[in-house]
Amino acid sequence: MKTVIIVIAAVLFLVILGIGIVGLKMTVIPKKHKKPPTDEKRIKRAAVRLKNNAYFMSFNPEDLEIVTPDRLKLKAWYVPAEKETKRFVICIHGYNCNGQDECAHLFPFYHNDLGYNYLLPDLRAHGRSEGGIIGFGALDSKDIKLWIDYLISRFGEDIEIMLHGISMGAATAMLVNNNSPQKQLKLIVEDCGFTSAFEEVEETTKGMFGGIRVKEVVEIVNVFCRIFAKYDLKKDANPLETMKNAANPVLFVHGEEDTFVPFPMCQRLYDACPVEKEIFTVPGATHAFSYYDARDEYNARITDFIEKHWNKDKVNK
């Protein structure tokens, strides 16, 4: 009997260990090679991204670098506005992507049309930045605050900044806004951000572990995440829980057919937000496709949001 118990315990330990290692690798370890798109919609988007990237690089962006407290070199591209201004936008990409691919399409709107200085960082473990652990917003929000500090130290205390994040970048932007941001931060646009990293991992791992309940699987992964990644998927990467502390107005954007970051997450985040807020949802749009499916309305809603919540009662800088 004792032998049987030992064997069962050993098997359970190996199962838990296996789930933890595989789950950690699937969740927070960056993918070395991104699979090319196979469906028509994403193939078309990839072609558009190539054109956007080429246009962005034609402005000869400045190559910036900062070093984090854990000694990672983080990279960003910076393009100053054509006319001097104290307004800056930081566009933040999502999971397993990079600044150019995810956000270069926003450059003409913010830089050319609105006349803002444009900062495009690569998050840790993505693009040109160093790092072996994906931050899920928990680590990235601290890094974005470092970029804000960089802009303040270089361009002055009187600058004003807005964040525009997509997917994990949107969660990052919300976490910055929800955790005592610098006074220079004025506005947030979050496009298809998740409620918490824990819930998002639950959604993406459904059906991957046979009959084992997903929540228990993610609990195991979270233990490994706390040990090896040094953050908690529930506590440290939870825009919904911290939304009560939001400091600046937020525009919530989401595709109504998003199943990767399920559409209902947007409404929950919106409902929890205690500051000035607006919501813009796009019928038929899947994950991170709201801009591509409704570009003119997308830009118009952001412009209107800026007019209402950033330009009101002040001279446009």
DSSP string covering 248-285: S-EEEEEETT-TTTTTHHHHHHHHH--SSEEEEEETT-
Strands 277-282, 87-92: pairing is: unpaired
Per-residue pLDDT averaged across 107-119, rounded?
98
Tokens of 236: 């440290």
pLDDT at 5: 65
Edge to edge, the sheet with strand 73-79 lists: 62-67, 73-79, 117-121, 87-92, 160-166, 185-191, 250-255, 277-282
Q: Which helix (H) or strand (E) segment is 219 a member of?
A: helix 214-224
Q: Whole-number mean pLDDT of the chain? A: 91
pTM above 0.85, yes or no: yes
**pLDDT for residue 33 is more than 90:** no
Superfamily classification of domain 38-196+237-309: Alpha/Beta hydrolase fold, catalytic domain (3.40.50.1820)
For the cut 70, the answer to whether the pLDDT of residue 212 exceeds it is no
Three-state DSSP at 83 gives coil
Which of the pair, 212 or 99, is modelled with greater confidence? 99
- pLDDT at position 211 over 60: no
**pLDDT tens digits for 160-206?**
999 999 999 999 999 999 999 999 999 999 999 999 999 999 888 87
Residue 98: burial class (beta carbons within 10 Å; 0-12, 13-18, 19+): buried
> How does pLDDT run across 226-268, given as a tens digit for each residue?
999 999 999 999 999 999 999 999 999 999 999 999 999 999 9
Question: What mean pLDDT is predicted for residues 279-298?
Answer: 97
Question: Which tokens sit at 42?
Answer: 């994403």
pLDDT higher at 90 or 1: 90
pLDDT band at 317 (very low <50, low <70, confident <90, very high): very low
110 touches 118 (CB < 8 A): yes
Percent with pLDDT over 90 in the chain: 78
- Specify the range with the lowest mean pLDDT, choosing from 84-88, 104-108, 211-215, 293-297: 211-215
* Predicted pLDDT of residue 316: 42
